[in-house]
Structure 1
Amino acid sequence: MATGDERGAAEVLRALARHLNCLNEDSKNTRKRALESIRRETFEKSLSSDVLQEVFASILKSLLKCLSDPMERCRETAIQMIGDFIRSVPKPEDCLPYFIPAFTHRLGGKEILEPAEELRLSMMEVLSLTVEVCGSRLAPYLDDMVKILQRTIVDPYPEVKKETCKCTVNFARSIPAHFHMQAESLVKPLMQTVSHQHSRVRVAVVEATGAVIQYSSGKPVDDVLSHLAQRLFDDSPQVRKAVTAVVGGWLLDLPDRYSFFHKLIPLLLTSLTDEVPEIRLLAEDLWRRTGAQWEKENEQDLKDKLDFLLEPPAHYPPGVERPGLGCRELVSRNLSKLLPAVGRDLGDWLAGTRAKTARLLSVLLLHAEDHSTQHLQPLLATLYRGCADGEPAVVQSCLESAELLGRFVHPEVSLKLLLAHAENASSSSSSSASLAVLAAVLRGGSGHALRPHLLRIGDALAHPDLWHESQQCVYVQVLGCVQALLGVCEGDCGPISLQLLQVLLTVRSLSTEPQLWSTVEETTGALCSELGLAGEAELYRQHMPQLIGWLSQTQRAWTNHSIQRLQLQVLVVQSGPVIGEFLPLLMPLLQDCVQPSRDPEMRLHLFTLLSKLLLDAPNTLDSQGKFSEHLEVFLRELLLPNLEWHAGRTAAAIRTTALSCLYALLQGGGVSAQQLQAVQAQLTPRVLAALDEDSQTSRLLASRSLLTLLRLIGPNLHPDCLNTIYPELLKRADDSSQEVRSVCLSALGCWFSSVGQSYDRQVCGPHLQLLFQQLLLHMDDPEGSVQDHVLDVLKAGSSVHPELLRQEVEAVRDKQRSPSRCDQLLRHLQSIPRDSA
């Protein structure tokens, strides 16, 4: 048989002799035809493999020489024929001493000599084929192969890069015992190519990197990890999947994997939260296998835990599958090495990096469980930074991590650090972040574990130092803490209901957001529900003495900008009728706050508040009908001192608000005629003085107050007092404000109604004469409405002294623009019975 093969080979070679000689001709067409003839004489004649082996050995050098042929078609044909021979002969390794150096020369030099990218691809495909068929027999050619791979990994043609990566994977697996000696030299070109614009190239490079590192000495791991970590943010799911598969393979099979667990685990766990389900499932499978393998390898060390710690913790997150013991142990034992890197990446400038890192942190804490207690301080520092991030995804993941801390770390440990940091936060952003973490930890905790610490939590939330930053974000987070406590501890919050109400009161007083107000109302309702109270009024009734006492502690230092001033305002408004039950406590506080020596702007706001309350006195201050008991003190100590004249715009503004408060008191029904009579001697002069104020608003309020006062106690006023009032009203009948004029004229009409039997018409005749004369002058006003109003006033005054009025009307009738109204008044006077006159 061998002799026949040799004869057959000899015959073929004789037939090829002329064609082989033609390969040396200068004519490119001749060389081309020669190569095509060689192909016909070999592969198209169905020769046996042994004959092809002999022929290949004989013509290989000629074919390799054609690799440098100037004609591209000749080089292409030669490459194809070499590949066909390698694929067909039984001993392709025999060609390696000539084949590998030739390919190395062509592809592995400093400059690639093959200019055609398609031919470089063909050559790499032949090289890949050679690796497949020769396998371990390529070991002697390690250096040459690596030279080729180094150069073609960075080839400009993407298809060459992909084929090279495929070849690299197969070559590494073929000679594992030798490959490690040169593996490191492939890392640099691979990392240069791992960020190539084509996703398929990136996939191929990642897979090649996996094989190179797998069969290396292990030293290059550090050189590739940062590059692979970046690929976890790749837009292509296939690239992320390749990284996941490679890292999972290393965790399972890398010889020195124990040394790199803390570096590899984060990469695989990051894929557990990938948005693509296929990648998540792959990562879960690889991680499960990694944990199971490590658990088996360390079975003796884990014996106690395997036997006794099978059940999950009592407060484990519902609906979450607990990782295996091996997985948990791997994370717990490496957590101290993982957290610094997580902290660094959470400060990365790329939002995507921060978001993935935040999700990774929650995965780590789910595995670490109560082991995270040992690392609580750096964990909290990381979460504070994450919750202050501007990226919502980062904040959300950090809050989920904080909830896990609440589930796994005992409150005795966590609250000590959390509450101290919340109180000492130096800025609104850090304060908001620390409170957000606290709220999340509380949400994750259990009511049973938190119960012994409720007083400490409540005192911390209500502490004034917590409110040094007036920012909406802070209020939202404090409110979140209250909601968390109510949700977790439910009915156990009774002992801190006062502190929680103080927090809600403060948020409501400082917030300017309607949505936040709505949330406060809902939270207050929830607090009432947990305490079994009928409504918000009951809650205020239960704590009103403590709340007023709480505010009174600091009232001497209040200014307009004090939080307490706003808290008082919300307290008296929101408590509604309940505030009327605690006037003995409230009035001293108000009295001290509106003294003339206190901050003017604060007094302005408080008088405005009092005006609103007094306008609805039956439903606020006088809800119990007891405001009258404090009325004299209210007028003498609160109102009258602030009605005294002082120079300056601020003083004038305060007098205006005090007048508004007085008018609200008179209109709101909070004062009886008898009580008003008792203080009118002090009150009337201040009101009359206010009629001369520069402020139109003050004059209007004073005139309205005087009108109301006359309606309430006019008939009971002494004649001397009445005679003091009408001149001031007459002055305002000429006021620049039409509204003030109208009110003062109405007040004069009411003045006439107040004249009773004790008013001596004869003695006081000059007063009445002056009053009639002045009113008749105003009845000649250019404004018809004023004329009509004055006419009504004089008709009201006609019953006081009809004869005197008749005389005065007749004296001025012919002097007026239009005597019609004088005639109307005279007719009215004639209708008055003589007896009444």
Structure 2
Amino acid sequence: MAAAAEVAQALSRALSSLQGPDCGRAARLRALETIRAEVQERPLPAAVVQEVFGAQLVRPLARCLAGDAAERCRELALQLLRHGLSHGDRPEEALPVLLPALAQRLCPPQGFEPCEELRLGLLQLLGLLLQRCGAAVAPYLSDVIRILQATLLDHYAEVRRESCRCAVACAQAVPEHFHMQSESLINPLMQTVSHQHYRVRVDVIQATGAVIQFGNGKSVDDVLSHLAQRLFDEIPKVRQAVTTVIGEWLLHLRDRYSYFHKLIPLLLGSFTDEIPENMTLAWTYWEKIGLQWEKENEEDLKDKMDFSVSPSHYPKGVTRPGLGCRELVSRNLSKILPGLCHDITDWVENTRIKASQLLYTLLLHAEDHITQHMDLLLRTLYQACLDEESEVVRNCVKAAELIGTFVNPKVSLKLITSAFEKTPKPSCIMVLTAVIRGSPKEILQPHLTDLGNMLSQAGVCQRSEEVFYMEQLLYCVEALIEVCQEDCKEICLQLLKVLVTVMATPDSQHLKEKAEETVCSLAEVQQLDSFLCLYKQHIIQLLEWVSVSHDSWTCYSPEILQLDVIANHSGPVIGEALDDFILILKTCLQPNKDPQMRLKLFTVLSQLLQKANETVNSQGLFPSYLEIVIKDILAPNLQWHAGRTAAAIRTTAVSCLWALIHCETLSPEETLKVKDVLMPEIIAAMDEDSKISRLMGCCIVGVFLKVCGRQFDEDQLTKIYPEVLKRLDDASRDVRLAAARTLTNWFNCVKDSDMKSVMKSNIEILYQELLIHLDDQDQDTQNAVLNALKEGSILYPELLVREIEVIIHKHRTPVYCNQLLHHIQSAKEPLL
């Protein structure tokens, strides 16, 4: 008491100056400096500080703090008050004086501290009061709440942060009373939760956690959407704060059972945080929550705890959550899932990604409880798998794999199949593929036949030519082969039909190559030597499959492309099924059928005939079908009809005939049989607009002359050479060369027959015409004509010499004429 009296005596003069009505700013500053020197800068016992502080200093310092116009005076008063509260042993005695002063200075409109640093100091003083006074603050709770409502929205970030710390201190100091007014802080906290400074956001989230945990739990609904938004925050510490708050609520909130379905998604959402520390924090909390719930519901879970066995086909590399965690999700899934499914289709990309990640986590926990939510799940997955964001699709596919792992195929496949029966979409196939990949082989095996039949239905595998759709169909087949391995033998034909359809997708070479690899995989799992063995087993069935409606095919029929794939991809195997193959061609290549469709089929036939010994004639059986091919297929389509398509058909028909001849599939005997039937059409082909038709026509006539020379009569030979001669004027160099070679064969026909004398006038005309073309501008054409004339010179050499002498002076160069004369002279000498 003596020490306190001594200090009080030392302070009396300063206090008088401080409280005097006419005391100026300088005097007040000197007084405050004196007080600081006596109280703050001297080591005094706590009892002395309390006695002096409580009896003499609190009120004048509080008045100075609340109303002094000088910022320095207010600052010194604040320092002295903080010192007194920190070192005094009965700080609660200052509450009646200090709290109204703080409220007056921090709560507009009564008054407002303009200095940011002083506002921060005032809040630190409030925090010190809350910390040191504890429950004694209860009567002044309204003032504290009023202060915090204002300062939580302060423009100075540090003031907001300190306000958050004060809110936490207040909640912890008077929990019995705080819950009655805690809701008043929710609105300002939520207005601050998106502040531009991340440290403010962290403090607001922590404050929100304490305010609700020690306050009114009903406020959870008011803050959940804001906290959920903070899970997308780019700062890891902000996301970490949310995880901590939600974890603490799930462990300690009084009404947590009522909010499990709202809080669990937020905590599980942190399982996929990009920062490992945040993921670990979420898992740690979740394990504690699960164990706590197990203990609280031990009687209810007794049977499950005793007999819980991990599924043998659990996803590899994934740790199975504890029983309490699984039960919490399973029991709340019906409340969580509808909102989550809505978020997966939200317009905001980040929301969709987060929701798709959470869906996988929830299904991993729910296991076979997924079954009762299949309708909603599948509808959502069908839509989400078409998302433009690849990560959403990837997460949804992973979730669909869990359906295959945990749900009985009788249920899942039946529901998915029913979606196929309506309008199959690529996303339906994606979900089915994922379910197959997630299913154990032995569980899937009884359903293989149904799966194969469904996929090979025309309404599924031929529904669309869209590359993305066909790609998903291919992935589905790949999944079946990968999972079921050798069991795929029982649906081999159905899978082959699907793969043929995929390979027939127009304008997609990469898809065709992938499908070909899959065909090889299908053969490999059946331990066959190559994919050709698959075709060997099923070629007849495949041809029957594509030809079901071949009599009514049009150019848009997908079966044409499928037939193309079967015929070309099966290689030599097609040579074992000529009965069916030739019948399809004969039916579809009649002149009364769709011209565009005929053009496509002729292209297929032409490709096969170009390598006949490796395809249609691999077994040596094709010659027995030649008569049908030539008389019933080629000949009718060589006849002239108006139109570009008809011309294109004639071109492909000529190409097919040339392929037959060129690869020697058409023997001399067969050539002899068909020459009279085909010659008029081939001669006509030499006058087509198509260069290929003219070229092939010349080549074919040349072969006919070479093979059947003695069989041509005078009339036929007379009709042939003028048409060939016309081709020497052709714009195409290749056609001119072919025409010259054909005339060489024509000369050979006459040379070895009795018609030489009868056709002298025709030969003379030929000499004259060829000598003109011997002066062609193209050197190769000149050489070809020279060879023809050399061959023809044997017939009437003197006549040819006379013709040369008539025309030689008209040529640009006499070189070729001289070579020809030299050749004739050389041929005579041996005779002499």
* TM-score normalised by the chain length of structure 2: 0.95
Match of 2:45 in 1: 48
The answer for unaligned runs of 5 or more in structure 1 is none
Aligned residues: 824
Match of 2:311 among 310, 313, 328: 313
Aligned-partner residue type, residue 21 of structure 1: S
The one-letter code sitting in structure 2 at the alignment partner of 1:185 is S
Match for residue 569 of structure 2? 574
Match 2:392 to one of 382, 394, 413? 394
Indicate the residue corresponding to 2:188 in structure 1: 189
Within the candidate set 656, 680, 683, 2:678 is matched to: 683
* Superposed displacement of residue 519, structure 1: 2.2
Structure 2 contact 539–577 (Cα < 8 Å) conserved: yes
In 1, distance between residues paired with 2:103 and 2:777?
A: 117
Preserved contact between residue 121 and residue 163 of structure 1 (Cα < 8 Å): yes
Amino acid at match of 2:492: S
Q: Say if 1:715 and 1:753, in contact at 8 Å, map to a contact too.
A: no
Post-superposition offset of 1:80: 1.2
Equivalent of 1:453 in 434, 439, 447: 447
* 1:108–1:834 CA distance, 2 compared to 1 (3 A): closer
Partners of 1:395 and 1:464 in 2: CA distance: 27
Letter in 1 for 2:163: T
Q: Which residue of 1 aligns with 2:591?
A: 596
Corresponding position of 1:162: 161
In the TM superposition, what are the counterparts of 1:692-731 in structure 2 within 5 Å?
Answer: 692-731=687-726
1:503 is aligned to 498
Cross-structure match for 1:442? 436
Q: Distance in 1 between matches of 2:317 and 2:642?
A: 72
Residue 323 of structure 1 corresponds to which residue in structure 2?
321
Question: In structure 1, the residue corresponding to 2:217 is in which secondary structure?
Answer: coil
Task: Give the Cα separation in 2 of the matches to 1:158 and 1:777.
Answer: 102
Is residue 138 of structure 1 aligned with residue 137 of structure 2? Answer: yes
Distance in 2 between the 1:716 and 1:577 partners?
Answer: 36
Query: CA separation in 2, counterparts of 1:512 and 1:782?
Result: 42
1:17 paired with 2:16, answer no
- Please list the CA deviations of residues 518-563 of structure 1 after superposition, one character each: whole Å capped at 9, or x if unmatched: 3223212111101111112111111111111111013234332332
Which residue among 27, 31, 38 is the counterpart of 1:30?
27
| Deviating more after overlay: 517-526 vs 81-90 | 517-526
- Asked whether 1:806 is paired with 2:798, we answer yes
1:39 matches 2:36? yes
Distance 1:746 1:134 in 2: 118
Q: How does 1:523-542 map to 2 (within 5 A)?
A: 523-542=518-537
- Name the structure 1 match of 2:179: 180
**2:818 & 2:245 partners in 1: Cα distance?**
113
**Residue pairs, 1:346-495, within 5 angstroms:** 346-425=344-423, 431-466=425-460, 467-495=462-490
Do the aligned partners of residues 125 and 781 (structure 1) sit closer, same or farther apart at CA in structure 2, a change above 3 Å counting? closer
Q: Please give the per-residue CA displacement for 1:489-512, whole angstroms capped at 9, x wherever unaligned.
A: 000000111111112111122053
Q: Cα gap change, 1:160/1:808 in structure 2, threshold over 3 Å: closer, same or farther?
A: closer
SS of structure 2 residue aligned to 1:588: helix
CA distance 1:771–1:325, change in 2 (3 Å): same
Q: Indicate whether 1:61 and 2:55 are aligned.
A: no
- In the aligned structure 2, how far is the partner of 1:631 from the partner of 1:386? 56
Contact 1:703 1:743 in 2 (8 A): yes
Give the drift of 1:297.
Answer: 1.1
SS of corresponding position for 2:300: coil
1:394-436 Cα shifts (integer Å, max 9, x gaps): 111111111111100111111112233245336xxxx222211
Match of 1:342 in 2: 340
After superposition, the C-alpha distances for 1:354-410 in whole angstroms (9 at most, x for unaligned) are: 111111110000000000010011111222222111112211111111111110011
* Identity within the alignment, %: 49
Q: Is the 8 A contact 1:753 1:796 kept in 2?
A: yes
Q: Secondary structure at the match of 1:219?
A: helix
> Do the aligned residues in 1 keep the contact of 2:710 with 2:752 (CA within 8 Å)?
no
User: Equivalent residue for 1:236?
Assistant: 235
Once the two structures are superposed, residues 32-74 of structure 1 have per-residue CA deviations (whole angstroms, 9 ceiling, x without a partner) of: 1101111222233333322322222222110110012111111
Distance 1:442 1:199 in 2: 45
Residues 195, 583 of structure 1: alpha-carbon distance in 2 compared, 3 angstrom cutoff: same
Work out which of the residue numbers 548, 557, 563 in structure 2 matches 1:562. Answer: 557
Structure 2 gaps, min length 5: none
Q: Does 1:747 align with 2:769?
A: no
Cα 1:87–1:834 change in 2 (3 A) is closer
Greater mean alpha carbon deviation, residues 675-684 or residues 38-47: 38-47
- C-alpha separation in 1, matches of 2:655 and 2:602: 8
Structure 1 residue 834, shift from structure 2 partner: 11
* 1:585 aligns to 2:584 (yes or no): no
In structure 1, distance between residues paired with 2:429 and 2:780 = 64
TM-superposed CA distance for 1:696, in Å, is 3.2
Identify which range, 782-791 or 287-296, moves more after superposition.
782-791
Q: Structure 2 vs 1, CA of residues 716 and 435 (structure 1 numbering), >3 Å: closer, same or farther?
A: same
What amino acid does structure 2 have at the position aligned with 1:707? G
Mean Cα displacement is larger for which, 695-704 or 520-529?
695-704
CA contact (8 A) 1:579 1:621 kept: yes
| 1:745-824 pair list within 5 angstroms | 745-755=740-750, 758-779=753-774, 786-799=781-794, 801-802=795-796, 805-807=797-799, 809-810=801-802, 813-816=805-808, 817=810
Equivalent residue number for residue 96 of structure 2 = 97
**Distance in 2 between the 1:562 and 1:84 partners?**
94
**Is the contact between residue 108 and residue 144 of structure 1 (CA under 8 Å) also seen in structure 2?**
no
Q: Which residue of 2 aligns with 1:516?
A: 511
TM-score by length of 1: 0.94
- Specify which of 673, 676, 683 is matched with residue 668 of structure 2: 673
**Is the contact made by 1:425 and 1:434 (CA closer than 8 Å) also made in structure 2?**
no
- Structure 1: which amino acid aligns with 2:538? H
- Contact between 1:506 and 1:567, CA under 8 Å: does it hold in 2? yes
CA contact (8 A) 2:710 2:753 kept: no
Name the counterpart of 1:217. 216
Matched AA of 1:361: L
Q: Which residue of 1 aligns with 2:629?
A: 634
Q: Structure 1 residue 300: deviation in Å?
A: 1.5
> Would the aligned equivalents of 1:618 and 1:669 in 2 still touch at CA under 8 Å?
no
* One-letter identity of the residue aligned with 1:813: E
Measure how far apart 1:681 and its partner are.
0.8
Q: Which amino acid aligns with 1:480?
A: Y
- Shift of the alpha carbon at 1:200? 0.9
The verdict on how the C-alpha distance between 1:11 and 1:451 changes in structure 2, with shifts beyond 3 A counting, is: same
CA RMSD of aligned residues (A): 2.2
Contact 2:290-2:328 at 8 Å conserved across structures: yes
Q: Distance in 1 between matches of 2:474 and 2:269?
A: 33
Closer/same/farther in 2, CA of residues 728 and 44 from structure 1, 3 Å limit: closer
The 3 A distance-change label for structure 1 pair 815 and 79 is closer
Q: Any conservation in 1 of the 2:504–2:512 contact (CA below 8 Å)?
A: no
SS at match of 1:74: helix
Superposed CA deviations along residues 325-355 of structure 1, whole A, max 9, x for unmatched, are 1111110011111111111211223322211
Compare 776-785 and 646-655 and name the one that shifted more: 776-785
Map of 1:272 onto structure 2? 271
Deviations 1:448-497 (A, max 9, x none): 11111111111222222223232222122111111111111000000111
In the alignment, the residues of structure 2 paired with residue 251 and residue 601 of structure 1 have an alpha-carbon distance, to the nearest angstrom, of 70
Determine helix, strand or coil for the equivalent of 2:84: helix
